[in-house]
Amino acid sequence: MESNPMMKTSITKILENNRICENIFEMVAASDIKPLPGQFYMIKGLNGDYLLPRPISVHDYQDGKIRLLYRVSGHGTNQISRMKADDEVQILGPLGNGFDVESLNGKIAIIGGGIGIAPLLYLVKNIETQKPDVYLGYKDDTFCADRFRPYCKELTVVTEDGSTGQKGYVTDFVNISDYDIVITCGPDIMMEKILRECGEKNIEVYASLEKRMACGVGACLGCIVNTKDGNKRVCKDGPVFSGRDLTV
Amino acid sequence: MESNPMMKTSITKILENNRICENIFEMVAASDIKPLPGQFYMIKGLNGDYLLPRPISVHDYQDGKIRLLYRVSGHGTNQISRMKADDEVQILGPLGNGFDVESLNGKIAIIGGGIGIAPLLYLVKNIETQKPDVYLGYKDDTFCADRFRPYCKELTVVTEDGSTGQKGYVTDFVNISDYDIVITCGPDIMMEKILRECGEKNIEVYASLEKRMACGVGACLGCIVNTKDGNKRVCKDGPVFSGRDLTV
Amino acid sequence: MANLKVEFLGKVFKNPIVAASGTFGFGEEYNEIYDVGLLGGISSKGLTLNSKQGNEGIRLWETPMGLMNSIGLQNPGLESFISREINIMKQYKTNLIANLGGNTLDDYLNGVLLLNDSDVDIIELNISCPNIKAGGMAFGIKADIAYATVKAVRGICGKPLMVKLSPNAESISEMAAACEEAGAEALSLINTINAMAIDIYAKKPVFNNYYAGLSGPAVKPIALRMVHQAAKAVMIPICGMGGISSARDAIEFIMAGASIVQVGTANFVKTDICLDIIRDMEEFLHSQGIRDINEIIGII
Amino acid sequence: MANLKVEFLGKVFKNPIVAASGTFGFGEEYNEIYDVGLLGGISSKGLTLNSKQGNEGIRLWETPMGLMNSIGLQNPGLESFISREINIMKQYKTNLIANLGGNTLDDYLNGVLLLNDSDVDIIELNISCPNIKAGGMAFGIKADIAYATVKAVRGICGKPLMVKLSPNAESISEMAAACEEAGAEALSLINTINAMAIDIYAKKPVFNNYYAGLSGPAVKPIALRMVHQAAKAVMIPICGMGGISSARDAIEFIMAGASIVQVGTANFVKTDICLDIIRDMEEFLHSQGIRDINEIIGII
Ligand SMILES: Cc1cc2nc3c(=O)[nH]c(=O)nc-3n(C[C@H](O)[C@H](O)[C@H](O)COP(=O)(O)OP(=O)(O)OC[C@H]3O[C@@H](n4cnc5c(N)ncnc54)[C@H](O)[C@@H]3O)c2cc1C
Ligand SMILES: Cc1cc2nc3c(=O)[nH]c(=O)nc-3n(C[C@H](O)[C@H](O)[C@H](O)COP(=O)(O)OP(=O)(O)OC[C@H]3O[C@@H](n4cnc5c(N)ncnc54)[C@H](O)[C@@H]3O)c2cc1C
Ligand SMILES: Cc1cc2nc3c(=O)[nH]c(=O)nc-3n(C[C@H](O)[C@H](O)[C@H](O)COP(=O)(O)O)c2cc1C
Ligand SMILES: Cc1cc2nc3c(=O)[nH]c(=O)nc-3n(C[C@H](O)[C@H](O)[C@H](O)COP(=O)(O)O)c2cc1C
Ligand code: FES
Ligand code: FES
């Protein structure tokens, strides 16, 4: 898991910025550095009335274009969602360690919850050894699930209200013991459950974590997570952590 | 000069926001209150990273639509200029006293300088007794001069660099003594010169003044101008002042 | 419907939102836009014994999410206030707070004597105006000077007395405690924070007085901390302010210990913002199952 | 080409822009993005005698054009610094400022003794960290305590000594004068301003320590005023900071009396903003016909 071969701040014009559903949006912008799955960018519109860039994961990358899938969850993402093609955006990245895809061998389960599915598409597309099983949990709207289908062995979609796919919590539909490796991104409560279960069953597990960030590059020590090896920076030492290291 | 029959804050979608030349823009928005010539609005985009609304004069009004002609002169107007049709804008107004067009009788000279021409179009269109002579001074680009032609007896365009019309300062091309009333809006230095000359020659003169504003409605006392009658508020007692009252 | 009604200094405030001194004139101009009687109260423009023309030069300067002002207490003077402006304010069905400034102890004492016989509901003693060169400021900085001033005023004051603290005080906690001990029945804070701007092209300070007072959203986190400190230091009720621009902000101040709040600079950002704040506060309380705003005053 | 070179505490700064303590780590991370040797200097993350894990809970909170932080001086400790981080920093061709924090006088003294033998260019004595519960803060608030601390440190300090002031000091002028008298050779200010945020849904303060330090553009007008006050109160040179995000801001601080400036929070807004600031400062000087930045230091 060596990180950041290269990164930079660039100011570029947005190519697309579309609403996917309710409050999920997708931005497309040019970037000449190929990211690793699980890496992220610090994003800021040039005219927003918020101070700090917002961390958003790479959802997909192709032909020099990054795709960012994001949820409007507050003031900053709201303003980002109002930008239009040709508006200028400031992008720093790719940042963080990302997944070490080459080390992922065996039967893999990928479990995403809500907007936590964002970083998982590009990961799934880059797992070369064996197609993983993908479990996606949503509250109601099942955005972007179809994008995963071509790259997974089995795709299980779960909604809390049962409007699409299975009804319930996504974690109820995964048999953890069937897998060699589990990878998860989603709400804390979901990830904690999975980390705990994998810990008990001694199954390799990776989680992509979220913390409030300022610098995004490892300098400010604002995004700390406690690990068995002391404080780690989510932006620099993560966002991907092995369950072995986490103290959950 | 009785003021503000009505005013209100409204949030409305921009109908148009076009570049006229270099850094002059024109915004069109709906407003159901008919303004008086010389009145102004406090304008703010809903997503700008500046705090206070910006005062902008009514440039024209027709069929429930106000036109605002403005120059990008700093951070706020820059952001306003980047807004597009359908973006939301907050508009408070019409504000201020405006010109008392009914009292304007006799031979009238209207002298505008730079973006100071903005409030003069709607004024010229509303002078009913006698078409005025209009003098417009520019640095180089002579924006919107043609709009005045149908409403004036004579139109004199002056540029500092001589690229269009006469070359020099607009004040050099007006024979103040020819007029009963002089009306001016433009850079302080231009207005001061005109006020002084009219004072000496005892000619009725009105100037539309600019001051930094916060409330725009007369409450904060931030936009004071010294008059013979003590402090007056440009936003409420002005922006139009009679040369008789000013201390220049 | 959650209850927004609060009792403060024996007066009923129909809601905790008060228009802040100096940002709302005497209510007249804003009343052209909406019914200012819908507010919990209005604090008048800062008044002085004699009328004042205020400061020369630039009076306003915008900063990142803040506003600097150097009005210098321009006001019609107490006599005019009592014969004219007070009658305008009294038409609005809301609490009338007279904000009283001064340069000397005598200014304050004479001012209070005039207000005693008037129709104001509360006197807000402004010991903190940063925009007057001589004197004015010191009252708000040193706790012992403040103590002496408030004590003397209290002695002759026939109205409920609220003392307005300056964020430039050496110590907000000590200042708050000193004012309480001297007889203040309530505290309001914060006034504007001393600040500076320079015109780098002219190589001159923007304001004739060099420094001016900073207000607006930029100062909110500082104001909130000070309100919390003051609330912990005293038993008397507190009127909190500084950068409040939303119901969320107002609720933060109330949780930090304010019984009522004032909204200043935000009125400039959106003229009728106080009505938005009142509506959204009620909605917040309702959504959180809080039946009465009094339940959350000072819960932190 | 205008000259940006400044001498400060006997060191040559190729330009007046220094990365601020705590916002730039030890330069390593930013050096992946641009050559940090282009800066006038780097102030290290705040160091303490022993390593510290810092504070639990939320450490960052955004405010209108500001940032609150409660990092709590997480750092590897002075021994690690001297054996490891200092060597990384020394690779960059720029001035190395060691920012030293502490809870007790002994912490400071022992820290200085270790740094005396190291390769740092300047010691920045941080008597102002607001994020440590016990002790730390008081040093920066009361002028007499600061005086005693600085005096003791000065007695054993073998490096140029710059003392970093807190905006929470009772009086910036008195604090500045006290530090000068105690032997500080330069002052830096401001550190972050004590502030608060409340999570109104959880009905809890956002930060475990209740208060945290506010920085960024929101505080600039206050910081500028304090730098001006300090500059008027002392003869020693000043390193100004607080919200600087543009060349215009930097020039304001320099005109107000700072010889060099630090840029903190703005690095987060745009990673390479310091380079923009340096470029734009030079352009400003050039456009105004100012040949040497030294001509405008403290001209207001
Ligand atoms: C490494 C990483 C990758 C992420 N990838 C994605 C993604 O691909 N798609 C997506 O929709 N979201 C993603 N997030 C979450 C996203 O950053 C937050 O939703 C966003 O910052 C919220 O900003 P706001 O202005 O809408 O909310 P506000 O609440 O207004 O933000 C206030 C401050 O808190 C921070 N903040 C608030 N919530 C979060 C959060 N959950 N995580 C981190 N900071 C937060 C903001 O960045 C900002 O500084 C990611 C977060 C991290 C740390
Ligand atoms: C009554 C009135 C009518 C006006 N009508 C027009 C018009 O029709 N078209 C037009 O282009 N301009 C007009 N102006 C000037 C316009 O308001 C300013 O150019 C604008 O506010 C500058 O904002 P900014 O953000 O671009 O500049 P900044 O310098 O970034 O603004 C900083 C602050 O200073 C204030 N400010 C700066 N310059 C001026 C100024 N000249 N007058 C008032 N406030 C200023 C801003 O409002 C803001 O609060 C008018 C001004 C007034 C007072
Ligand atoms: C333009 C202006 C004028 C003010 N005048 C006064 C005043 O006369 N008396 C006073 O006590 N406070 C005065 N203040 C301070 C406000 O009442 C309030 O304490 C401060 O602005 C902080 O609140 P805010 O951030 O909501 O504006 C004034 C503030 C502004 C912006
Ligand atoms: C995340 C963060 C960490 C900080 N850590 C320190 C520190 O360790 N020591 C110190 O003296 N100042 C520290 N500061 C204060 C800054 O050095 C600076 O004084 C302050 O942020 C004001 O400058 P700015 O507005 O440019 O950020 C820190 C500031 C931030 C934002
Ligand atoms: S965000 Fe600064 S260290 Fe992670
Ligand atoms: S802008 Fe407030 S009185 Fe004119």
- The answer, yes or no, to whether any atom of ligand 4 lies below 6 A from the CB of D103, is no
According to the model, what pLDDT value does residue B4 have? Answer: 43
Higher pLDDT, A4 or C167: C167
C201 inside domain = no
Q: A176 by DSSP, 3-state: which?
A: helix
What is each CA distance from A55 to A76, A98, A216, A224, in whole angstroms? Answer: 11, 14, 8, 15
Angle between helices D143-156 and D172-181 (to 10 degrees): 30
CATH of the domain at C234: 3.20.20.70
| Best to test chain B binding among C35, C89, C269 (most B CBs inside 10 Å) | C269
Residue D84 — φ and ψ, nearest 5°? -125, -70
The arithmetic mean of pLDDT across residues D195-204, rounded, is 98
- The answer, yes or no, to whether any atom of ligand 6 lies below 6 A from the CB of B223, is yes
What mean pLDDT, rounded, does chain B reach? 92
DSSP character for C216?
S
Output Rg (C-alpha) for chain B, integer angstroms. 17
Contact by Cβ (8 Å): A185, A119 = yes
Contact by Cβ (8 Å): A174, A157 = no
Which residues on chain C are in Cβ contact (under 8 Å) with B236?
29
User: Which of D70-80 are b and which e, b meaning 16 or more Cβ less than 10 Å from the residue's Cβ?
Assistant: bbbbbbbebee
- In the structure encoding, which two tokens stand for residue B200, read together? 């000496």
Residue C80 — φ and ψ, nearest 5°? -60, -45
According to the model, what pLDDT value does residue B3 have? Answer: 36
- In the structure encoding, which two tokens stand for residue C61, read together? 């300067």
Structure confidence by residue, pLDDT tens digits, C199-254: 999 999 999 999 999 999 999 999 999 999 999 999 999 999 999 999 999 999 99
| Beta-bridge mates of residue D238 | D187
Output Rg (C-alpha) for chain A, integer angstroms. 17
Q: C142 by DSSP, 3-state: which?
A: coil
Residue D299 contacts C, CB cutoff 8 Å: yes
Structure confidence by residue, pLDDT tens digits, D268-277: 999 999 999 9
Which residues on chain D are in Cβ contact (under 8 Å) with A89?
none
Q: What is the DSSP string of chain B?
A: ----S--EEEEEEEEEEEEEETTEEEEEEE-SSPPPTT-EEEEEETT-S--S-EEEE--EEETTEEEEEEE--SHHHHHHHT--TT-EEEEEEEES----GGG--S-EEEEEEGGGGTTHHHHHHH--SSPPEEEEEESS--TTGGGGGGG-S-EEEEETT-SSSEES-GGGG--GGG-SEEEEES-HHHHHHHHHHHHHHT-EEEEE-----SSSSSSS--SEEEETTEEEETTTT-SEEETTTB--
- C69, closest residue in chain D (CA to CA): D221
C207 inside domain = no
d(CA D155, CA C252): 46
DSSP character for C40?
S
The arithmetic mean of pLDDT across residues B124-136, rounded, is 91
- In the structure encoding, which two tokens stand for residue B26, read together? 């024109």
The arithmetic mean of pLDDT across residues C152-176, rounded, is 96
Contact by Cβ (8 Å): C42, C97 = yes
Please report which confidence band the pLDDT of residue B6 belongs to, taking 50, 70 and 90 as the band edges: low
Burial class (CB in 10 A: 0-12, 13-18, 19+), D57: exposed
Structure confidence by residue, pLDDT tens digits, D6-49: 999 999 999 999 999 999 999 999 999 999 999 999 999 999 99
In this structure, which ligand is nearest to the CA of B210?
2
Residue B150 — φ and ψ, nearest 5°? -60, -20
According to the model, what pLDDT value does residue C104 have? Answer: 87
The arithmetic mean of pLDDT across residues D189-199, rounded, is 97
Nearest in space to C111 (alpha carbons), one of C125, C97, C131: C125
Which run of H or E residues covers position D88? helix D86-91
C51: closest CA of chain B, how far (Å): 12
C158 inside domain = yes
Instruction: State in Å: Cα D253 to ligand 1 middle.
Output: 33
The arithmetic mean of pLDDT across residues A40-45, rounded, is 95
159-218 in chain C: CB under 8 A from chain D: 170-171, 193-198, 200-201, 203-205, 210-211, 214, 217-218
Q: Which residues line ligand 1 (CB under 6 A)?
A: A 40, 52, 54-57, 69-71, 73-77, 115, 118-119, 210-213, 239; D 62
Contact by Cβ (8 Å): A247, A218 = no
Share of chain C above pLDDT 90, in %: 94
The arithmetic mean of pLDDT across residues B89-96, rounded, is 94
Which run of H or E residues covers position D4? none
Share of chain D above pLDDT 90, in %: 94
d(CA A51, CA D219): 13
Structure confidence by residue, pLDDT tens digits, A204-242: 999 999 999 999 999 999 999 999 999 999 999 999 999
D257 inside domain = yes
- How many residues are given for chain D? 300
Structure confidence by residue, pLDDT tens digits, A67-107: 999 999 999 999 999 888 888 999 999 999 999 998 898 99
In this model, does residue C154 exceed pLDDT 60? Answer: yes
Structure confidence by residue, pLDDT tens digits, D214-247: 999 999 999 999 999 999 999 999 999 999 999 9
Number of domains making up chain C: 1
D67 inside domain = no
d(CA D273, CA D250): 12
d(CA B53, CA B76): 8
Please report which confidence band the pLDDT of residue B1 belongs to, taking 50, 70 and 90 as the band edges: very low
Residue C243 contacts D, CB cutoff 8 Å: yes
A93: closest CA of chain D, how far (Å): 10
- The answer, yes or no, to whether any atom of ligand 3 lies below 6 A from the CB of C164, is yes
Question: Which residue CA neighbors atom 32 of ligand 1 most closely?
Answer: D62
Q: A90 by DSSP, 3-state: which?
A: strand
- The answer, yes or no, to whether any atom of ligand 4 lies below 6 A from the CB of D22, is yes
**What's the 3-state SS for D95-164?**
EEEEEECCCCHHHHHHHHHHHHCCCCCEEEEECCCCCCCCCHHHHCCCHHHHHHHHHHHHHHCCCCEEEE
Parent domain of D268: 6-54+73-192+216-296
Residue C69 contacts B, CB cutoff 8 Å: yes
In this model, does residue D138 exceed pLDDT 80? Answer: no
D197 inside domain = no
Please report which confidence band the pLDDT of residue C134 belongs to, taking 50, 70 and 90 as the band edges: very low
Q: What is the DSSP string of D245-290?
A: -SHHHHHHHHHHT-SEEEE-THHHHSTTHHHHHHHHHHHHHHHTT-
d(CA D172, CA D193): 13
Note whether D271 contacts A9, CB cutoff 8 Å.
yes
Q: C16 by DSSP, 3-state: which?
A: coil
Structure confidence by residue, pLDDT tens digits, A112-143: 999 999 999 999 999 987 899 999 999 998 99
The atom of ligand 4 lying closest to the CA of D67 is 31
In this structure, which ligand is nearest to the CA of D17?
4
Residue B175 contacts A, CB cutoff 8 Å: no
ipTM of the complex: 0.96
Please report which confidence band the pLDDT of residue B5 belongs to, taking 50, 70 and 90 as the band edges: very low
Residue C33 contacts B, CB cutoff 8 Å: yes
- In the structure encoding, which two tokens stand for residue D154, read together? 């000065």
- In the structure encoding, which two tokens stand for residue A156, read together? 């299980």
In this model, does residue C118 exceed pLDDT 50? Answer: yes
Contact by Cβ (8 Å): B220, C268 = yes
Using alpha carbons only, give the angle B126, B130, B135 rounded to the nearest 5 degrees.
75
Closest CB to B212 among C25, C54, C58: C58
Structure confidence by residue, pLDDT tens digits, C6-43: 999 999 999 999 999 999 999 999 999 999 999 999 99
The atom of ligand 5 lying closest to the CA of A236 is 4
Please indicate, yes or no, whether the overall pTM of this predicted structure exceeds 0.90.
yes
B48: closest CA of chain A, how far (Å): 6
Which residues on chain D are in Cβ contact (under 8 Å) with A214?
60, 67, 69, 265, 268
Nearest in space to B143 (alpha carbons), one of B13, B24, B15, B8: B24
According to the model, what pLDDT value does residue A6 have? Answer: 66
A51: closest CA of chain B, how far (Å): 9
Contact by Cβ (8 Å): D79, D85 = no
**Which residues contact residue B213 at a Cβ distance below 8 angstroms, ignoring those fewer than 6 apart?**
B42, B52, B55, B222, B223, B234, B235, C60
Place of tokens 């206030």: C81
Beta strands at B230-233 and B224-227: parallel, antiparallel or unpaired: antiparallel
| Beta-bridge mates of residue B136 | B112, B157
Note whether D65 contacts C64, CB cutoff 8 Å.
yes
Alpha helices, H only, chain C = 28-31, 78-80, 86-91, 105-116, 136-139, 143-156, 172-181, 220-233, 247-256, 266-269, 273-287
According to the model, what pLDDT value does residue B130 have? Answer: 84
Active site residues of D: 129
In this model, does residue D132 exceed pLDDT 70? Answer: no
Q: A227 by DSSP, 3-state: which?
A: strand
Please report which confidence band the pLDDT of residue B129 belongs to, taking 50, 70 and 90 as the band edges: confident
Please report which confidence band the pLDDT of residue D130 belongs to, taking 50, 70 and 90 as the band edges: low
In this model, does residue C133 exceed pLDDT 90? Answer: no
**Which residues contact residue D266 at a Cβ distance below 8 angstroms, ignoring those fewer than 6 apart?**
D216, D217, D243, D244, D245, D273, D274, D277
- In the structure encoding, which two tokens stand for residue A71, read together? 């949820």
D274 inside domain = yes
In this model, does residue A48 exceed pLDDT 80? Answer: no
Instruction: State in Å: Cα D46 to ligand 4 middle.
Output: 9
The arithmetic mean of pLDDT across residues C178-194, rounded, is 98
- The answer, yes or no, to whether any atom of ligand 4 lies below 6 A from the CB of D244, is yes
According to the model, what pLDDT value does residue C137 have? Answer: 58
Residue A47 contacts B, CB cutoff 8 Å: yes
D275 inside domain = yes
| Beta-bridge mates of residue A92 | A9, A42
d(CA C102, CA D59): 42
Instruction: State in Å: Cα A160 to ligand 1 middle.
Output: 23
Question: Which residue CA neighbors atom 20 of ligand 2 most closely?
Answer: B54
DSSP character for C135?
T
In this model, does residue A3 exceed pLDDT 50? Answer: no
**Which residues contact residue D85 at a Cβ distance below 8 angstroms, ignoring those fewer than 6 apart?**
D26, D44, D76
According to the model, what pLDDT value does residue A9 have? Answer: 79
The arithmetic mean of pLDDT across residues A153-168, rounded, is 92
Residue C281 — φ and ψ, nearest 5°? -65, -45
Note whether C203 contacts D300, CB cutoff 8 Å.
yes
Which residues on chain B are in Cβ contact (under 8 Å) with C62?
50-52
d(CA D129, CA D47): 11
Indicate the residue type of C293. I
In this structure, which ligand is nearest to the CA of C130?
3
- In the structure encoding, which two tokens stand for residue C139, read together? 């009252």
Domains and CATH numbers, chain B: 8-95 (2.40.30.10)
Note whether D23 contacts A53, CB cutoff 8 Å.
no
